[in-house]
């Protein structure tokens, strides 16, 4: 059933962008409005894992991949990804650098945790970050200048062996795609409390970015779209009584002067934005609490007019206030306006754009490549 190799022949990475790719890049303009994922950058980074080792990633065109129909990832879902961003440097802290990657080593470490959970090889953190630097440095003209916009980056790895046996691949493909984007949501959102399906079970893959986690949410999302809602709010898989997270964001509640979020577990993704907000919230005079949040207690408190904000956070979304909660029973509950969420969002973006200083290691300045868009 298996074939010797499903991978193209190895090619040598070159320092200069081939003229054909430089031309593609020159012919690419930012769309208006930018949206999220509307324009894919015409250049991506690629590396294959073969004979037990990763090649050095190289830049190539965003072209179709030549894969056998029995490629493992298509059948058994051995696929993971990261979502991360490069922001235009709008501040004084990093002179000489046009663009700042946000916490790239945190993303590299999470990518490797995802890889291990799905039986895939880790990739050296400096190879991962080096490929990001090379790609982002080349794509400088596709990094939008406006505060809140960014070059969204999508590192991906999938099992590339052509083999229908239910065993892990031995060959893998690593890609980094890029898309200039607005934040996922640019206005307060509506969230649908999912009472029936579960996102993640104990011991499963909920705490990593397995591609299948997202596919498993699509059927649950059908009623959400039918009712015009934007994100699913998932409850725990055992009793459906406690908040876990949104489909693409961690969840926070500001409850009076406390900032509350569920503790990390094997059913919740350890969001890098979540971690950043927990570190940034102190000067806002908020006490941090990582504890279980019971959905009915939260709904009762909102109904009785307690001082509450509910918001999601994630790389794509930054910080997204929730203005309406709904569910299949007909619940429609409006939430008051969200000043803390807006303040945290601005604070985080100011750091991401280099306007405010960041804690150590959060910012990774990228130097524009001379063979990229500047030439």
Total residues contacting ligand COI (rule CB under 6 A)? 6
Question: Are the CB atoms for 316 and 255 separated by under 8 Å?
Answer: no
Q: How far is the CB of 106 from ligand COI (least distance, A)?
A: 13
Q: Which residue reads 């190799």 in tokens? A: 5
Q: Which CB, 315 or 363, lies closer to ligand PLP?
A: 315
Q: How far is the CB of 182 from ligand COI (least distance, A)?
A: 13
Q: Residue 319 and residue 281: Cα distance in Å, rounded?
A: 13
* Closest to 178 (Cα-Cα) out of 315, 39, 65: 39
Q: Which of these ranges, 44-52, 185-193, 272-280, 321-329, lies near ligand PLP under the rule CB under 6 A?
A: 272-280
Interacting residues with ligand PLP between 228 and 257 (CB under 6 A): 245, 248-250
Q: Which does 269 bind (CB under 5 to 8 A by kind): ligand PLP, ligand COI, none?
A: ligand PLP
Interacting residues with ligand COI between 32 and 51 (CB under 6 A): none
155 contacts ligand COI (rule: CB under 6 A)? no
* Closest to 144 (Cα-Cα) out of 307, 373, 363: 373
DSSP state of 242: B
77 contacts ligand PLP (rule: CB under 6 A)? no
Q: Which of these ranges, 25-33, 160-168, 189-197, 271-279, lies near ligand PLP under the rule CB under 6 A?
A: 271-279
Report the b/e string of 124-154 with b at 16+ CB within 10 A. eeebbbebbbbbbbbbbbbbbeeeebbbbbb
Other C-beta atoms within 10 Å of 293: how many?
A: 20
Q: How far is the CB of 70 from ligand PLP (least distance, A)?
A: 29
The binder of ligand COI chosen from 83, 104, 159, 326 (CB under 6 A): 83
Using CB under 6 A as the criterion, what x/- string covers residues 313-332 for binding ligand PLP? -xx-----------------
Q: What share of the chain is helix, strand, coil (3-state, %, to 5)?
A: 25, 25, 50
Q: Residue 366 has which token pair?
A: 């990228």
Question: Are the CB atoms for 67 and 52 separated by under 8 Å?
Answer: no
198 contacts ligand PLP (rule: CB under 6 A)? no
Q: Which CB, 43 or 319, lies closer to ligand PLP?
A: 319
The binder of ligand PLP chosen from 41, 235, 269, 348 (CB under 6 A): 269
Phi/psi region, residue 330 (left: phi>0; alpha: psi -120 to 50; beta: rest), is: left
Total residues contacting ligand PLP (rule CB under 6 A)? 12
314 contacts ligand COI (rule: CB under 6 A)? yes
Question: Are the CB atoms for 99 and 140 separated by under 8 Å?
Answer: yes
Q: Which of these ranges, 58-66, 67-75, 132-140, 312-320, lies near ligand COI under the rule CB under 6 A?
A: 312-320
The binder of ligand PLP chosen from 57, 121, 271, 354 (CB under 6 A): 271
Q: Residue 234 and residue 195: Cα distance in Å, rounded?
A: 8
Q: Residue 237 and residue 268: Cα distance in Å, rounded?
A: 11
Question: Which residues in this chain contact ligand PLP in the complex, by CB under 6 A?
Answer: 83, 245, 248-250, 269, 271-274, 314-315
Residues that bind ligand COI (CB under 6 A): 83, 214, 248, 314-316
């Amino acid at each position: 059933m298996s074939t010797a190799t499903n991978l193209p022949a190895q090619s040598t990475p070159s320092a200069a962008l081939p003229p054909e790719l430089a031309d593609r890049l020159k012919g690419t303009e930012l769309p208006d409005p930018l949206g999220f994922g509307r324009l894919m950058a015409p250049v991506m980074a690629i590396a294959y894992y073969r004979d037990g080792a990763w090649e050095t990633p190289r830049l190539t065109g965003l072209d179709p991949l030549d894969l056998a129909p029995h490629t493992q990832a298509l059948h058994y879902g051995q696929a993971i990804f990261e979502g991360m961003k490069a922001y235009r440097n709008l501040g004084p802290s990093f002179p000489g650098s046009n663009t700042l990657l946000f916490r790239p080593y945190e993303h590299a470490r999470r990518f490797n945790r995802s890889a291990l959970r799905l039986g895939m090889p880790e990739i050296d953190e400096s190879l991962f970050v080096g490929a990001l630097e090379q790609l982002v440095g080349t794509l400088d003209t596709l990094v939008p200048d406006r505060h809140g916009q960014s070059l969204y980056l999508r590192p991906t790895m999938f099992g590339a062996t052509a083999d229908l046996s239910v065993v892990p691949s031995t060959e893998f493909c690593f890609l980094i795609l890029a898309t200039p984007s607005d934040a996922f949501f640019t206005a307060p959102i509506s969230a649908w409390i999912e009472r029936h399906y579960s996102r993640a079970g104990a011991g499963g893959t909920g705490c990593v970015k397995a591609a299948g986690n997202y596919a498993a949410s699509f059927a649950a999302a059908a009623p959400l779209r039918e009712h015009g809602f934007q994100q699913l709010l998932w409850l725990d898989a055992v009793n459906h009584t406690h908040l876990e997270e949104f489909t693409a964001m961690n969840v926070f509640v500001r409850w009076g002067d406390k900032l509350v979020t569920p503790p990390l577990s094997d059913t919740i993704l350890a969001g890098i934005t979540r971690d950043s907000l927990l570190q940034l919230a102190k000067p806002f005079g908020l006490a941090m609490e990582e504890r279980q949040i019971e959905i009915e207690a939260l709904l009762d408190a909102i109904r009785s007019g307690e001082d509450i904000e509910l918001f999601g956070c994630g790389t794509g979304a930054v910080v997204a206030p929730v203005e309406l909660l709904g569910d299949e029973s007909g619940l429609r509950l409006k939430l008051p306006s969200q000043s803390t969420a807006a303040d945290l969002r601005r604070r985080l973006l100011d750091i991401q754009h280099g306007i405010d200083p960041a804690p150590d290691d959060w910012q990774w300045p990228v130097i524009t490549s001379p063979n990229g868009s500047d030439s």
